Copies of this chain bind each other. A is one copy, B any other.
Amino acid sequence: MVIATCEVDYAGRLSAHLPKATRLLMVKADGSVLVHSDGGSYKPLNWMSPPCTLIERDGEWTVKNKAGETLVIRIEEILSDSTHHLGVDPGLMKDGVEAHLQALLADHLDVIGAGLRLVRREYPTPIGPVDILAREDVGTVAIEVKRVVEISAVEQLTRYLDLLNRSSKIAPVRGVLAGNVVKPQAKTLAEDRGITCVTTDYDELRGLTDPTARLF
């Protein structure tokens, strides 16, 4: 951990230059380097991801990686310099993303439409898995689940539908996009292609499955 007045240049996938100012330089155990200012978000102003090597010489740090990207830090004045050993860190546990929404929807297909019977989740195709496949009285429904439904989701589902409708076994297959948020452009493009959009409510779905579940 170094606090220093410095100037930084990055050359790699693009070029970037940071004028001289006082910043926080963090060197991690794996050799990666982060240049932070005292504001902004969690993203550093400049950085080099591991694996990389740091060479220090004449008040100039040069960090390189395999791909030939370089980060050069010219240090004018060091205001603080300290080292700490942190030890290993246990993993991070997450819960509540798309996989969870997909499971909840599979348990409550009535939210999508009446009379749907689950075939399976992650139904495999040569171009990737369909999130949820369900039968209805006539034909099949392919459901793509997204937290936020954008144009790319329409394209993705369109590819699945094109392919599934060539397989006579389960055709005809219609498409449904489900998500907590449906972007206007996505909705427009989807309806142009005969794809239905359903706006879901994550908390409500969770309530249906487990009425006792509450936030803390």
Could you tell me which A residues sit within 8 Å of B by CB distance?
1, 3, 9, 11, 13-19, 21-24, 26, 28-30, 32, 34, 36-47, 49-50, 79-80, 82, 84-97, 127-128, 147, 152, 155, 185, 189, 215-216
Contacts and interface: CB of A to CB of B under 8 A. Distances in A.
Contacts of A92: 16-18, 45-46
B82 A17 contact: no
Contact of A21 (B41, B79, B88): B88
List the number of copies, as a whole number: 2
Contact of A22 (B28, B40, B86, B152): B86
A193 to B, nearest CB: 11
A96 B21 CA distance: 23
Contacts of A189: 127
Per DSSP, chain A at the interface is loop
A185 B89 contact: no
Nearest to A48: B42
Given A22-B89, A46-B92, A127-B185, 4 more contacts: A15-B94, A18-B90, A24-B26, A26-B36
Contact of A29 (B11, B32, B39, B79): B39
3 shortest interchain CB distances as A-B pairs: A14-B96, A37-B89, A38-B86
B84 A80 contact: yes
A55 to B, nearest CB: 17
A86 B18 CA distance: 15
Contacts of A11: 215-216
